[in-house]
Amino acid sequence: MRNLVAITGLGAISPVGLDVPSVAASLREARSGIRAIRTAPLEREFAAGAIDASFEDAFTKLELPFLDRCQQMAVLAARQAAADAGFDSFEAFGQRAGVYYGNVNGGVSNAQAWYSQMLLEGKQAARPFAAMAIMGNAGAAHVALRQKVLGPVVSNATACGSSGVAIGDAARAIADGYLDVAIAGGAEAPLVASLMGVFQGTRAMSPPDPDDVARSCKPFAEDRTGLVLGEGAAFLVLEPAERAWARGARCHAYLTGYGLSNDAHHIGMPATEGQVRALQAALADARLEPAQVGYVNAHATATEGGDVIEAAAIRQVFGSGPGDAAVSSTKSVHGHLLGATSALELLLTVVAMEQSLLPASAHLERPDPRCALNHVGPAPRAGHSISHALSFSCGFGGTNVALVVSRDPSQRD
């Protein structure tokens, strides 16, 4: 028998809130965290899910040289999740505790600073601790250091599915009895010129909406204009449900299904067939029929082709009628957090379940007919009890990850 996996801790640093209660309030109001930013030396203005806060005061002067903004947010979100689950430290678990982390770009602001120093100032060596601030696994390492995690500390970099794969793999380790607790999630801080310019080069970025920059990201909409990048971190604490019940922990939800697939189609263009395989695998793992899923948090980045391809996959599995799973994309208010986006969207899905709320696809006044689904629409819908929900992410390279969460896992089969 596999262990049932409980979610006992949530933590978030995001464009729509710096903790879970503020994130929940934003979700209820479809409040946007997207605003205009500039990233020198690029001359254009960007729409971005930007966090208007500095986190340096949370760390000592001795700590800061090792920490990019990305890792600062990872540490703080993981700390929230651990505290929510009732843990000060995981040291007592020995090697039965783990950290599973998703990230794509590492400490990109520190990398950019070094390139500038080398190319413009002629410096021949980086500052002593730049390597530790830049490396992609630094977020996981800093979480483990501070939370005293002595077991596996694993970083995943499968593009936009990174933190979803991290969470799914952590859940499997607990379900199969290898771990007693895990902190799983991701972080990303891509709002610097070197990375914004890279994505601008893909020709998939939305320009700032001329009337209201907060409306720049419009997934599934007929008038969508492209993706909007965001920054932030989100973490969940996972543990066997029986252990959580025994210690009297609050269980926000249960992670009951994990599906993972690759398109094997194109490095940058998704494929409906591969996405369908991931969705079906998650349902099979959760022992659910499509009709039992009440809500799908879609990947939907508001790109021209991506939304159409994903809508076809969701439609093939869940249907598109009024009685089928309700669908929305919360990227409309927080943007695309790249490696951290799966973790944040799963966290939002859990919060929505707890609030009996269907989150909005903000600004979806005119859905693209090619994206026909049972859309929640531009305003959240309160008073909708959700027994099972699915969060879906897809990424460059073809990786698709689907995670199923349940309020009452006994309501299966």
Q: What is the pLDDT of residue 409?
A: 80
User: Is residue 29 exposed (0-12), middle (13-18) or buried (19+ Cβ within 10 Å)?
Assistant: middle
| pLDDT tens digits for range 148-198 | 999 999 999 999 999 999 999 999 999 999 999 999 999 999 999 999 999
Amino acid (one-letter) located at 292: Q
- Sort residue 194 into left (φ over 0), alpha (ψ -120 to 50) or beta: alpha
Q: What is the pLDDT of residue 154?
A: 98
Q: What is the pLDDT of residue 410?
A: 76
Burial 85-114 (b: 16+ CB within 10 A, else e): bebeebeebeebbbbbbbbbbbbbbbbbbb
| pLDDT tens digits for range 340-396 | 999 999 999 999 999 999 999 999 999 999 999 999 999 999 999 999 999 999 999
The mean of the pLDDT values for the chain is 97
User: Is residue 218 exposed (0-12), middle (13-18) or buried (19+ Cβ within 10 Å)?
Assistant: buried
Largest CA distance in the chain: 65
For the chain, which domains are there? Answer: 5-246 (3.40.47.10), 256-406 (3.40.47.10)
Given 3-state DSSP classes, what are the helix, strand and coil percentages for the chain, each rounded to the nearest 5? 40, 20, 40
Q: Report the relative pairing of strands 381-382 and 357-358 from DSSP bridges.
A: antiparallel
Residues of the chain with pLDDT under 70: 1, 411-413
N-terminal to C-terminal alpha carbon distance within the chain: 16
User: Alpha helix (H) ranges present in 148-301?
Assistant: 162-175, 193-201, 241-246, 272-286
Catalogue the active-site residues: 160, 299, 336
Distance (Å, rounded) from C-alpha 389 to C-alpha 356?
A: 11
pTM of the model: 0.97
Task: Respond yes or no on whether the N-terminal peptide bond of residue 409 is cis (omega within 30° of 0).
Answer: no
Q: What is the pLDDT of residue 197?
A: 96
